[in-house]
Amino acid sequence: MQSKKIASQFLILCCAMLVSVAQAQKLPNVMILATGGTIAGTGATSTTTVGYTAAKIGVDALIEAVPELKKVANVRGEQVFQIASENMNNDYWLKLAKRVNVLLAQSDVDGIVITHGTDTIEETAYFLNLTVKSRKPVVIVGSMRPSTAISADGPINLYNAVLLAGSQDAIGKGVLVTLNDQINGAREVTKTNTSTLDTFKTPELGFLGYIQGSKPYFYRQSVRKNTVDTEFDISKLDTLPQVDIVYGYANMGPVALNAFVAAGAKGIIHAGVGDGSLASTVIPSIIDARKKGVVVVRSSRVGQGIVARNGEADDDKLDLVVSDTLNAQKARILLMLALTKTTNTKEIQAMYSKY
Ligand code: DAS
């Protein structure tokens, strides 16, 4: 009698294991690559939402804090590095992009989530949008409140990001950013508020979609080339050309631009007032920079709209490039990658119309 009972319990256990294996086989395999930020941050009290420390909690703890992840994906975690993202740099970007490409080439990885500080999410997203060589989903996620705060947004943002990275609908959409139940595209997403939960927006051109009730809903996608459709290959790069940003303002002079050129910048993004206007005080320095082979791109501090070629400056005569709608920090990323291929300003201008 006893042996029959043991046998039936064993049989039930085997069936349960078979069911859970079958369920696991149905779920997408999502890698979570952790890099730091507020989503991994801790504060002194549960009401500390500013003045906390970012980049304190490791990837395993982030995953353990959201047991619901296991219901939507088979997740594995990897700590690529642990920084507050104001300290993001080209070396970290190259390390991250190379790791993403190695993992996405594996058949047992269906999508990747990157946990990241919010300060430079928009830059990392665009860098990966130009350098990831796969159509599989890559979703970058952060949070505006540390994990220790009342109503921390990190756990639900992470859950949504894993959902999105495992979704068939996210395939081929380029690199995505999700916080606050909203889905933004890498090219246009930008941080619009220093501290509120709804800070990430795509002003004027709009969200790609939303996540509601554990389901992503897409309503549009970017028409600009990205990921597998770009000409950029970072697999053999160990550094990126130095490109700096000069900010435009009333009463500006050439000191900053001259200093960047003297320090060896290969490219300058001029974040001009209005439609990328150049103050007369900087034009001689721009002419000098061009003579030294430094590529100069006219962007705008405004943040939205197309910078018109030959609008506020004679770009043909000065041999300048215009940034299309890319803000200065994103125009810098494209120029860095462009300079790994060419210094020809006509070829570079074509890239700003393509990506
Ligand atoms: N310092 C910010 C950063 O790491 C914290 C955050 O918002 O993630 O980007």
> What single string gives the DSSP state of each residue in 33-93?
EEEESGGG-B-SSTT--SS-BSS-S-HHHHHHT-TTHHHH-EEEEEEEEEE-GGG--HHHH
What pLDDT score does 8 carry? Answer: 81
Protein residue whose Cα sits closest to atom 7 of ligand 1: 118
Q: Hey, what are 104's tokens?
A: 């996405």
Pocket of ligand 1 (CB under 6 A): 37-38, 54, 84-86, 117-119, 142
pLDDT at 3 over 70: yes
Ligand 1 atom nearest to 120, measured from its CA: 9
Ligand 1, atom nearest to 55 Cα: 4
Q: What is the bridge-based pairing of β-strands 190-191 and 200-201?
A: antiparallel
Helix (H, G, I), strand (E, B) or coil at 217: strand
Q: How far apart are CA 60 and CA 318, in angstroms?
A: 53
Mean pLDDT of the chain: 95
Is the CB of residue 45 less than 8 Å from the CB of residue 70? Answer: no
The amino acid that residue 209 corresponds to is: G
What's the average model confidence in pLDDT over 289-306? Answer: 97
For this structure, is 38 an active site residue? yes
How far apart are the C-alpha atoms of 135 and 176, rounded to whole Å?
12
Share of the chain above pLDDT 90, in %: 87
Angle at alpha carbon of residue 296, lines to 292 and 300, rounded to 5°: 155
Among 39, 49, 118, which residue has the most ligand 1 atoms within 8 Å of its CB, making it the best to mutate? 118
Confidence of residue 43 (pLDDT cuts 50, 70, 90): confident
Quick check: helix, strand or coil at residue 346? Answer: helix
The strand pair at 267-272 and 209-212 is best described as unpaired
Q: Whose CA is nearest to atom 5 of ligand 1?
A: 38
Least confident of 12-21, 164-173, 266-275, 295-304: 12-21
pTM score of the predicted model? 0.94
Considering only CA atoms, which residue is closest to atom 3 of ligand 1?
A: 117
Mean per-residue pLDDT, 36-45: 89
The protein residue with its alpha carbon nearest to ligand 1, atom 8, reads 117
Pairing relationship of beta strands 243-247 and 267-272 according to DSSP bridges: parallel
Residue pair 267/348 in contact by the 8 Å Cβ criterion: no
Q: Which atom of ligand 1 is nearest to the CA of 121?
A: 9
- Ligand 1, atom 1, lies closest to the CA of 84
Q: What is the pLDDT of residue 100?
A: 98
* Atom in ligand 1 nearest the alpha carbon of residue 84: 4
User: Of 38, 178, 202, 227, which one is the catalytic site residue?
Assistant: 38
- Which atom of ligand 1 is nearest the CA belonging to 116? 8
**If you write DSSP's letter for every residue of 182-212 in order, what string do you get?**
EEEETTT-EE--SS-TT-EE-TTT--SEEEE
Whether the predicted pLDDT of 18 surpasses 80: no
pLDDT reading at 119 higher than 90? yes
**Among 37-41, 95-99, 290-294, the least confident range:** 37-41
CA 152 – ligand 1 centroid, Å: 14
List all residues 6 or more positions away from 302 whose beta carbon is below 8 Å from its beta carbon.
273, 274, 275
In angstroms, what is the span from residue 167 Cα to ligand 1's centroid? 27
Model confidence at 104, pLDDT cuts 50, 70, 90, reads: very high
Helix (H) or strand (E) run with residue 267 in it:
strand 267-272
Per-residue pLDDT, 235: 97
Domains contained in the chain, CATH given: 25-229 (3.40.50.1170), 243-354 (3.40.50.40)
Express as a percent the part of the chain with pLDDT over 70: 98
Centre of ligand 1 from the C-alpha of residue 157, in Å: 15
CB 339 within 8 A of CB 241: yes
State the pLDDT at residue 21: 66
Q: 319 CA distance to ligand 1 centroid (A)?
A: 38
pLDDT of residue 187: 98
Given a cut of 70, whether residue 213 has pLDDT beyond it is yes
For 34, 128, 189, 334, the CA distances from 330, given in Å and listed in that order, are 22, 11, 10, 7
3-state secondary structure of 255: helix
Out of 35, 38, 87, mutate this one to test ligand 1's pocket (max ligand atoms within 8 Å of CB): namely 38
pLDDT of residue 54: 84
The one-letter amino acid code at 297 reads V
Residue whose C-alpha is closest to residue 349's, from 334, 329, 328: 334
Instruction: Specify the DSSP element, H or E, that contains 156.
Output: helix 154-165
The rounded Å distance from CA 150 to ligand 1 centre is: 18
Ligand 1 center to residue 106 CA distance, Å? 30
Confidence of residue 24 (pLDDT cuts 50, 70, 90): low
Cross-strand pairs, 272? 300
| Torsion 92-98-100-102 (CA) sign | negative
